[in-house]
Amino acid sequence: MTDLSPAHGFAFLDQASFLKCPTAAAAPARPFGLAGLCWDGSTTNRPGARLAPRAIRQASHMLCDGIHPHFDCSPVDALADLGDLALPNTGLEAMRAAFAAQLPALLAQRHMVWLGGDHSVTLPILRALRAQQGRPVAVIHFDAHCDTWEDHFGEPSGHGTWVWEAIQEGLVERSCFTQLGIRSAGERAAREYVRDQGGLIFTARDLRGLASPAQLAPVLGQIRQRLQAAGQPPVYLSLDIDCLDPAFAPGTGTPEPAGLSTAHVMTVLEELADLPFVGMDCVEVSPPYDHAELTAYAAASFVWTYLCGRVARGAGSARG
């Protein structure tokens, strides 16, 4: 008899989890976890990122059995969906405090992927990873914006300050902080801050016309060389969907023309899958401004590709 359960085909049938994987309660021993962060209280322009986890999960259902064409594996049997974390939505510090209280146990149990939410959620994750790993972490940061401002339009912190704060607090390995896709307006001190601190910046202009593995090899080689020289620190991936050109991701709060393509990002994720990643976030998807779910589909595909890369590498613990 043909199995017609929702887990086997019928991608359009509603189910609340990413890739229709089981909940954490139903699969407590699975090594990978995914959780939604429904927060957009620090957005600068268009709100709506608090609705992103739901949209990304829904888009992931079109990936069906989740078998990746490059890695030839699926994360479905290794993944549990923790749902959306209970977080206050009226104040940044209250949200971060509530999130920080939950992070140690979650990171100890699983290798976590986070669906944001705006980019201010990344700072408490890096604080928790610094404590868990016992050393600063390397960061690969996709974004249109440098996020290195020292204040958020007069407020002490926001979605555009987390990189500056993370570097100031010693949470990250400065020489192994890599930004890809930067192109927004901004003063030189902010634009070049990561480079001035010893890190790498590949602007959207630097990456124009470089989308295939062969074309991106020199860029990826520099990232690998930095990691090797620093003793192969653990790596965190923070992916702001506005790194993509608005043609590929219209549903975001601060769109910037002349950005990366989905092929740019996918190539990097596939080619660097062997790095010692310890987690990922995908942030700044704003469903109210999305068209034909293009942005949600891109986000779901990037998260899926990251997870498949981890499974293909044989990573099966919260630390690798």
* Digit-coded pLDDT (tens) for 160-185: 789 999 999 999 999 999 999 999 99
**Is residue 55 within 8 Å of 16, Cβ to Cβ?**
no
**Is residue 311 within 8 Å of 302, Cβ to Cβ?**
no
List, in order, residues 6 or more apart from 3 with CB less than 8 Å away.
Answer: none
Q: Which of 203, 219, 220 minimizes the C-alpha distance to 259? A: 203
Round to whole Å and give the CA distance between 14 and 284: 24
Predicted TM-score (pTM) of this structure: 0.94
List, for the chain, all residue ranges whose pLDDT scores fall below the cut of 70: 1-14, 151-157, 159, 315-320
The pLDDT, as a whole number, for residue 9 is 54
**Is residue 276 within 8 Å of 310, Cβ to Cβ?**
no
Q: Which of 74, 78, 57 minimizes the C-alpha distance to 65? A: 74
Q: Omega of the bond prior to 117 within 30 degrees of 0, cis?
A: yes
The pLDDT, as a whole number, for residue 15 is 73
286 exposure class (CB count in 10 Å sphere: 0-12, 13-18, 19+)? buried
DSSP 23: B
The pLDDT, as a whole number, for residue 318 is 41
The pLDDT, as a whole number, for residue 113 is 98
Q: Which of 155, 26, 117, 135 minimizes the C-alpha distance to 299? A: 117
The pLDDT, as a whole number, for residue 136 is 98
Beta sheet of 111-116, edge-to-edge order: 79-84, 32-37, 111-116, 277-283, 235-240, 137-142, 172-182, 200-203
Backbone phi, then psi, for 282, in 5-degree steps? -125, 115
**Is residue 137 within 8 Å of 126, Cβ to Cβ?**
yes
Largest distance between two CA atoms of the chain: 65
The pLDDT, as a whole number, for residue 2 is 46
| Host H or E run for residue 181 | strand 172-182
The pLDDT, as a whole number, for residue 90 is 84
The pLDDT, as a whole number, for residue 319 is 44
Round to whole Å and give the CA distance between 168 and 18: 35
The pLDDT, as a whole number, for residue 12 is 58
Task: Render 148-168 in DSSP notation, one character per residue.
Answer: --SSBTTBS--TTTHHHHHHH
| Rounded (5°) CA angle 234-240-175 | 35
The pLDDT, as a whole number, for residue 308 is 98
